[in-house]
Amino acid sequence: MAFNATLEVTDRKIARITLSGELDAAAAPGFRAEIEKSAAQQAKRLVLMMRNLEYIASAGLRVLVFAKQKMGAACDIYVVAPQEQVVESLELTGLRHSLVIMREYDAAEIENLA
Amino acid sequence: MERIDTYPTHLRGGFKLRPGRPYPFGATLVPGGINFSVFSRHADYCVLVLFEKGKTEPMVEIPFRGMFQRAESGDPVWGDFRIGNVFAMVVFDLDYEDIEYGFRMHGPYPRVERGRPGIHRFDPSQVLMDPYAKAIGGREMWAEEPDWNKRYQHRARVLHDDFDWESDRPLEIPMEDLIIYEMHVRGFTQHPSARVRKPGTFAAIREKIPYLKELGVNCVELMPIFEFDEFENRRVNPETGKMLLNYWGYSSVGFFAPKTGYAATGKSRDGTMVADELKTLVKELHRSGIEVILDVVFNHTAEGNEDGPTISYRGIDNATYYMLTEDGYYQNFSGTGNTLNCNNPIVRSTVLDCLRYWAAEYHIDGFRFDLAAILGRDPRGVPLANPPLLEALAFDPVLGKCKLIAEAWDAGGLYQVGSFPAYGRWAEWNGQWRDTVRKFLRGDFGQVGKAAQRLEGSPDLYGERGPTASVNFVTCHDGFTLADLVSYNEKHNEANAEDNKDGTNDNTSWNCGWEGATDDPSINRLRRRQMKNAFAMLLVSQGTPMILMGDEVGRTQCGNNNAYCHDDELTWLDWTLLETNQELFRFVKNCIAFRNGHPVLRSNLHFRNEDYLGTGYADITWHGTRAWQADWSEGNRVLAFMLCGRHARSGTAVDDYIYIAMNMHSEALPFEIPRLPAGKRWHVFANTSRVPPDDVSDPGAEPPLGDEAEFVVGGRSVAILVGRDRRTTPT
């Protein structure tokens, strides 16, 4: 399935990117562009909606590392509702500990910017 | 600023190309494409072969020389993408996560049939793996039967070199402070009792880091993790009918690629996450203060002799990569069919490139070189006085802080323990430490003098180089496990399907009165004691101790001293032993903690056998059953020594006094103990003749010794005393 990434940034500077399809080497530059846009808008939170993301390849994982570096330590990155294969890839390649993984969108936690 | 060489200049079969850059060798991601570079001194024509991942038939074949089209006009144009002996080409717009590649090499010599000798073995019908492949497909899942119809079995892949290392860097633990744990990646966690999510993988080792921390080791030495072919040994276990595998992996297919079958990510669609998984392991081990040493095999390859498979090197440039006889047979100093031509300048630079890559890209802390004596032979096999490869490794800038450890012998009879060309850098597996301590341990006569040399860091072997040149070990993967060393007089290798002819006959072992497992409690008691004695000697000895995986819990291989081909309970670590042999584990753990707590046990300079600080005690003193009177005679089996804590680290550290009494006689003997300076008192850290919990103390909580003048040490027992201030004695 073709990859798609759509970005919306709330007025409280929460950047939400909804991902679907397969995040492979061909798709990675598109995802990266959305991350750059989020950073340009000085997002305080990056939320990656992954329910419909079916596959993540090395190139996709690298965009997550890029996101971590681009957004800075002050911006938490949330991964919402990832599929099992995606979680496993994050786990085995050591990325899991630098992301917050949640099964459902938890507005109370994500939108609490106090 | 954008480079001006990132645009295609040529077209061929719909693929966009341009002349590549010869360095670095291998496949490298460059803007817009992949740079492919391969050298061959003797080939005159080369073709790049690209596959969709896993496919039998190529997607396209692109020669490095011939007629192409101009990229801008489509007009015909001649192209020759070669500089010197290096074929180099950039191919644009490839989906690098979904391709595999190889080369066809043409040479000016007649094709040599398999089984026949030949100086050159060019065969354009064969697709060849890139010697610099950073990831290799074809054996994605351990022991999953491959498709033998594929002519291209070991398939080069393209890899991301980058990784989010965060603040990680190699730990650079001094050699004298290192405690090495030699382990097999798969065997460590494959047993069901390991209870890990992905058994037998790099990822699973991460789950066992707390165990390594508890044991107290600060370095793991991984048995070969370069891609190898577990299917190369196609024999059957005569006892079970099961296929035997090359489980150990001392047979490199590719030197730059981690073993895909050791990675939980090996089977993933994008098979290049293997590198990320291994790097994550290294990062996590470093975070826990544990270094990673790789056991590297450069003495031979998986291509074997004239009868062996063509995978890469022999088809790319046989005469460069291998030591050959004049009529084209493979020299066999490795005992495995062929010998890599390591002092050929091209092969030498490949080895250097390889180790730099592992040090720089994987943050590897050091290397142990299998059959390293071969690396000091010239292209005809003659031992060199000043081997260029060993010298280059010793002085290499990237490897400047890496541990370099030699297995200082080879299968061709070159034995260099104590004389390996070291250039002030190389350490050695001290085979003499193993042999002497085994003899002393089982009560052989005539070992006391030699044992003294071994325990004080082998100054007779490493006088100039210091004790850190000596990696001490009682057991390693090769030979008996420690439990088997005290349970078997003879090897029992029938299951290896070689009529029990493989494996060494020189085990220097003693079964304690019965061959193999027994219910006899007195024999089992003695065996436990002997294992503790061995660990006690290992962990108080100067030099770097190395422990074989599972010896700390009494792992057995049922007397098999060459278990390279068994991938089952015989070789896997059974984690239930941790409970069964909790007594031994506690003893080892405490001995490690004791070593870590006492710098006097970890000197980087040899003792001088004198009191150069005016403490009233020499740095080391030797004793027997009478204090100050060691008995060096042939018929003696008793030795004791005392280390003066004020001489710790040549007087730069303050430590306690330590006294070790070793009675390898079968009967208990009273030892007269040297007197301590006023205000200090002896405490008992370990006494292997006592039953738990009195066999070993928690370091720092040792009980005071009752009678300070005389101490009875049981038969075949070791006692370790620590002399410190009276007032610090716990109540």
User: For B287, phi and psi rounded to 5 degrees?
Assistant: -60, -25
Mutant choice from A69, A87, A93 vs B, greatest count of B C-beta within 10 A: A93
What pLDDT score does B640 carry? 98
Task: Name the nearest CA neighbour of B352 among B402, B427, B277.
Answer: B402
User: For B680, phi and psi rounded to 5 degrees?
Assistant: -110, 155
pLDDT digits (tens, 9 = 90+) for B544-570: 999 999 999 999 999 999 999 999 999
Exposed e or buried b per residue across B452-486, where buried means at least 16 C-beta atoms within 10 angstroms of its C-beta:
bebbbbbbebbeebbbbbbbbbbbbbbbbbbbbbb
Higher-pLDDT residue of A98, B189: B189
Q: What is the CA radius of gyration of chain A?
A: 13
Residue B289, helix vs strand vs coil? coil
Cβ–Cβ of A25/B96 closer than 8 Å? Answer: yes
| Across B589-600, average pLDDT | 98
What pLDDT score does B729 carry? 47
CA dihedral sign of residues B575, B592, B551, B187:
positive
CA distance B414 to B411: 7
Residue A50, helix vs strand vs coil? strand
Q: What is the length of chain B? A: 731
CA distance B364 to B294: 7
Q: What is the mean pLDDT of chain A?
A: 92
| Across B397-412, average pLDDT | 95
Task: Name the nearest CA neighbour of B313 among B24, B36, B39.
Answer: B39
Please report residues of B whose CB lies closer than 8 A to that of A26.
95
Residue type, B168: D
First and final CA of chain B: distance in angstroms? Answer: 73
What pLDDT score does B713 carry? 97
Identify any residues that bridge with B409 across adjacent strands, giving them in sequence order. Answer: B415
| Across A13-34, average pLDDT | 94
Model confidence band, residue A114 (pLDDT cutoffs 50, 70, 90): low
CA distance B691 to B375: 48
CA distance B532 to B290: 24
DSSP string computed for B615-667: SSS-SEEEE-SBTTB----TT--EEEEEE-GGGGGGGTS---EEEEEEE-SSS
Query: Is residue B411 exposed (0-12), middle (13-18) or buried (19+ Cβ within 10 Å)?
Result: middle
Token pair listed for B31? 């803007």
CA–CA min distance A32, chain B (Å): 16
Identify any residues that bridge with B16 across adjacent strands, giving them in sequence order. Answer: B11
Cβ–Cβ of A58/B160 closer than 8 Å? Answer: yes
Cβ–Cβ of A25/B162 closer than 8 Å? Answer: no
CA distance B390 to B387: 6
Model confidence band, residue B731 (pLDDT cutoffs 50, 70, 90): very low
Strand ranges of the sheet holding B680-687, from the earlier edge strand across to the other edge: B620-623, B638-643, B657-663, B717-725, B680-687
Model confidence band, residue B380 (pLDDT cutoffs 50, 70, 90): confident
CA dihedral sign of residues B683, B689, B693, B697:
positive
Cβ–Cβ of A26/B95 closer than 8 Å? Answer: yes
Beta carbon pairs, A and B, within 8 Å: 57
Token pair listed for B236? 């059957």
| Across B200-213, average pLDDT | 98
Task: Name the nearest CA neighbour of B495 among B697, B235, B712.
Answer: B235
Cβ–Cβ of A92/B95 closer than 8 Å? Answer: no
Token pair listed for A12? 């409280």
Model confidence band, residue B707 (pLDDT cutoffs 50, 70, 90): confident
Beta strands in chain A (DSSP E): 4-9, 14-23, 45-56, 76-80, 100-102
Distances (CA, A) of B440 to A7, B534, B688: 73, 10, 16
Active site residues of B: 370, 407
Task: Give the CATH number of domain A4-109.
Answer: 3.30.750.24
pTM (2 decimals)?
0.96
Cβ–Cβ of A58/B270 closer than 8 Å? Answer: yes
What pLDDT score does B293 carry? 98
Model confidence band, residue A72 (pLDDT cutoffs 50, 70, 90): confident
CA distance A73 to B628: 63
Given a cut of 50, whether residue B486 has pLDDT beyond it is yes
Cβ–Cβ of A59/B162 closer than 8 Å? Answer: no
What pLDDT score does A113 carry? 73
User: What residues in chain A have their Cβ under 8 A from chain B's Cβ atoms?
Assistant: 24-26, 55, 57-59, 61-62, 65, 68-69, 88-89, 91-95, 98
pLDDT digits (tens, 9 = 90+) for B69-109: 999 999 999 999 999 999 999 999 998 889 999 999 999 88
Given a cut of 50, whether residue B397 has pLDDT beyond it is yes
Task: Name the nearest CA neighbour of B320 among B343, B353, B302.
Answer: B343
Strands B544-548 and B470-472, bridge-based pairing:
parallel
Model confidence band, residue B234 (pLDDT cutoffs 50, 70, 90): confident
| Across B350-375, average pLDDT | 96
Query: Is residue B222 exposed (0-12), middle (13-18) or buried (19+ Cβ within 10 Å)?
Result: buried
Tell me the CB-side half-sphere exposure of residue B437, using CA atoms within 13 A.
Answer: 32
Please report residues of A whose CB lies closer than 8 A to that of B164.
65, 68-69, 94-95, 98
Element (H, E) at B388: helix B388-395
CA–CA min distance B281, chain A (Å): 8
Distances (CA, A) of B526 to B507, B591, B661, B713, B717: 19, 19, 18, 15, 10
Given a cut of 60, whether residue B66 has pLDDT beyond it is yes
User: What residues in chain B have their Cβ under 8 A from chain A's Cβ atoms?
Assistant: 95-98, 160, 162, 164, 198, 203, 263-265, 268-270, 272-273, 276-277, 279-280, 283-284
Identify any residues that bridge with B89 across adjacent strands, giving them in sequence order. Answer: B19, B36
pLDDT digits (tens, 9 = 90+) for A27-38: 999 999 999 999
Quote the percentage of chain B above a pLDDT of 90: 91
Please report residues of B whose CB lies closer than 8 A to that of A58.
97, 160, 270, 272-273, 276
First and final CA of chain A: distance in angstroms? Answer: 39
Tell me the CB-side half-sphere exposure of residue B236, using CA atoms within 13 A.
Answer: 5
Other CB atoms within 10 A of residue B263 CB: 30
CA–CA min distance A11, chain B (Å): 31
CA distance B670 to B57: 77
Asked if residue B201 lies in contact with residue B185, where contact means CB atoms within 8 angstroms, the answer is yes
Model confidence band, residue B727 (pLDDT cutoffs 50, 70, 90): low
CA A75, chain centre distance (Å) = 12
Dihedral-angle region of residue B446 (phi above 0 means left; psi in -120 to 50 means alpha; beta otherwise): left
Strand ranges of the sheet holding B60-63, from the earlier edge strand across to the other edge: B60-63, B45-52, B99-106, B155-157, B135-137
CA–CA min distance A94, chain B (Å): 5
Please report residues of B whose CB lies closer than 8 A to that of A94.
164, 276-277, 279-280, 283-284
DSSP string computed for B47-90: EEEEEETT-SS-SEEEESEEEEEETTT--EEEEE-EETTEEEEE
Q: Give me the interface pTM, i.e. the ipTM.
A: 0.93
CA dihedral sign of residues A97, A101, A106, A107:
positive
CA dihedral sign of residues B23, B27, B28, B29:
positive
Please report residues of A whose CB lies closer than 8 A to that of B287.
none
DSSP string computed for B317-358: HHHHHB-B-TTSPBP-TTSSS--B-TTSHHHHHHHHHHHHHH
What pLDDT score does B350 carry? 97
Distances (CA, A) of B422 to B71, B416, B427, B470: 54, 11, 7, 12
- Would you list the domain boundaries of chain A? 4-109
Q: What is the mean pLDDT of chain B?
A: 95
Given a cut of 70, whether residue B643 has pLDDT beyond it is yes
CA distance B401 to B616: 38
CA distance B246 to B224: 11
CA distance B399 to B420: 19
